[in-house]
Structure 1
């Protein structure tokens, strides 16, 4: 299995575009590097059976006529895809899985699979299912948390199946979970909310809305308002500005307790962004002040798994988005803060942060810096396609000043990326 944005697709596409066979390409690489290149290596790279080692990146860049940074990014994308795809599958012969753990996992899998089978299959699955005890409940809750962590890097298309299987397992177990029903209901609600976000990520808005409604229902049923807030926060991205602002304000009422400061900060910062979009400068500033205050009390790493994406750089980027709409005098500094706090983070969140930072620079007239960060944003958005990324690419192309040749080039590259 090769990464859709990895080195295999890149090298094969470039070779075929040049009209070379793998042997021709190996000879060409040998000519530019003055060293023998085995044609089998070309095959291994294209199929990602083996990834190019760092000392060959320069040679590959020269031989294929691309920047070395593009090679490095493609190799990194392949490595992430390989690692996360591997993590998404549970190998039955792993030595560190005990016999009890394997029996429990297989029982849950059979329950999940049994939902879609004939009646006798569902009965067999139910009979084979594990007893829902505290240990199994904790494992399923942890698996739910891990799905949120995986979403930071994993392509939406690869996450869909895992979310569906996990949600089916939880759905099958809830009726027989006894004292653990609330914990599994909350986990199911969180999983449904994430499934809605992933559906939105791939452009399936109708499915996303159904998942969000179900997640909110599970949150209310489980007596866990934070799940309702999560569903409303995700859903706000697809709502009209005025409606989104109302949803975000209401969502904050569901995370008033201790331990939810990071969630309150995220929702308040999103409210600020939407308020600015509605032209309410005073309301946007007030909401942003609440977001900053809540963040000062937050510990995202210790909170709910679904809020761990929300680090200082994300708050900074929401500040940039708000300031951009308000033409705030501190916009340039906010953009610089967002980039500084982003560091070398290459998760999906970086796509949003780079987009906001590039917009901030362009809005303040720092065109060179805006184009530099804008190209980084485009590369990240192309490497991990998302609905939000495509929307932001469209906005970025419209914002680029056409009087600059470098801006016209970037706009053309964005249009080409959107057309693929």
Structure 2
């Protein structure tokens, strides 16, 4: 028996409070939503009447014969059923009323940036199209423009996508350029926002690229299709890095594997090299420097100065770090010189989308890490002092890396109090940026310092580490495209 309007509204409010409905919204699983609603007496006819989605289509969703993918469908479900803000946010939608309800994230420098998936995609696209270095202070104005045009642009993009998939099924230069710009923008946004903030938007972007690839398999010009496959690979390596930052190694590996398959199909070995470079941080964080160096060696075999000098500079600097950690001073110095030589001929801002982080400061942080590991501690500390002094006050990520490396070097030398002090400062910086990827490094430091835990400096560091691990516990959960979500 169908529910009357009052009973219908009361039933909906009860269903909206359920955890299984919240999880279905997180997964953007419309079929599951329909099944849950049906379980509590809400018919497909009623859902169709409220949302404007055809009853036959709802039946296909319920039976799993079709998956809802476009944003317009999710908006119809949320608006038609008058879902509360909690469920709308779980689906990555703005609050009713458009941009006034758009969720925002406050960056370390106080900028209010949108975290809605579509707004983030537009912001990434705008940054990617700029083609030059976007300063943090410029982000506020760009974000405001994005929010002001988001609703209109959203309609235009989906109309373009519908045309590409439903009519001609042929990729256009404009569509591919749009996806390329958005991918480049997400790589830049990763330097400015925590990974958990942009993961959802990046996942939706990857899904859109995948949809375009499926629809264009047999009809598009090979050059355009290869560029889109390259874009998919570049997006997946970033998603892998962010998943690793969130504490999900398995998810990261899946993205890296996908990126490597895309790279092989597109004939772009630099993407595979990038994936190996990112993968190297996983064993390195666990103290397995031999495995990390092997991955980096494989990466360097795939790319040359003529292909991507900035990628070579990054990978060789990482190889120097890992060689230093293994006590192989001769190899560390050879790799470091290779990194410097490649960096001097590179234009990191105009190389690959993943190389734009590699500026003079970041190269110096690799120098500090390598020197501290091969026993040149005084040189490393002097370089660190100069670098931290010139870094922006809120660049916590690089500060955390540098201080962690110096703490490790002091521990090896036997300077326990100094190691504990630097480790605590580095941990504080890591905690400020909500990044879990560097916690294993501080775990290793804690293991080395634990025998001196009767000393106050060591005891305080160990207590701070326990609090940090507890506070970042969310990052050890497996991320999915429906969850929230650091760099080299």
Structure 1 residues 268 and 238: alpha-carbon distance in aligned structure 2, compared to 1, 3 A threshold: same
**Conservation of the 8 A alpha-carbon contact between 2:107 and 2:193:** no
Cα distance, 1:221 vs. partner? Answer: 1.2
Paired position in structure 1 for 2:262: 218
Cα distance, 1:290 vs. partner? Answer: 1.0
Structure 1 residues 257-406: aligned runs within 5 Å: 257-258=305-306, 260-329=308-377, 330-340=379-389, 342-344=391-393, 346=395, 348-360=397-409, 374-398=423-447, 405-406=456-457
1:202 matches 2:202: no
Paired position in structure 2 for 1:88: 120
Higher mean C-alpha deviation, range 253-262 or range 288-297: 253-262
Once the two structures are superposed, what CA deviation does each residue of 1:101-159 show, in whole Å capped at 9, x if it has no partner?
Answer: 54552247x77xxxxxxxxxxxx993279862111211110100111111123222222
| Alpha-carbon distance in 2 for matches of 1:158, 1:130 | 33
Paired position in structure 2 for 1:149: 188
RMSD: 3.4
Structure 1 residues 148-187: aligned runs within 5 Å: 148-175=187-214, 176=216, 177-178=220-221, 179-187=223-231
**Conservation of the 8 A alpha-carbon contact between 1:107 and 1:130:** no
Which of residues 173, 184, 190 in structure 1 aligns to 2:234? 190
**Conservation of the 8 A alpha-carbon contact between 1:313 and 1:353:** no
Structure 1 residues 312 and 327: alpha-carbon distance in aligned structure 2, compared to 1, 3 A threshold: same
Structure having greater relative contact order (Cα 8 Å, sep ≥ 6): 2
Structure 1 residues 351 and 135: alpha-carbon distance in aligned structure 2, compared to 1, 3 A threshold: farther
| Alpha-carbon distance in 1 for matches of 2:341, 2:189 | 29
| Alpha-carbon distance in 2 for matches of 1:134, 1:378 | 46
Once the two structures are superposed, what CA deviation does each residue of 1:267-325 show, in whole Å capped at 9, x if it has no partner?
Answer: 00111112222232211111111112222222222322211122222222222322333
| Alpha-carbon distance in 2 for matches of 1:128, 1:384 | 45
Paired position in structure 1 for 2:158: 106
Flag structure 2 segments of 5+ consecutive residues without an equivalent.
1-104, 123-143, 472-488
Structure 1 residues 261 and 141: alpha-carbon distance in aligned structure 2, compared to 1, 3 A threshold: same
**Conservation of the 8 A alpha-carbon contact between 2:233 and 2:262:** yes
Flag structure 1 segments of 5+ consecutive residues without an equivalent.
1-73, 112-123
Please give the TM-score of this superposition, normalised by the length of structure 2.
0.60
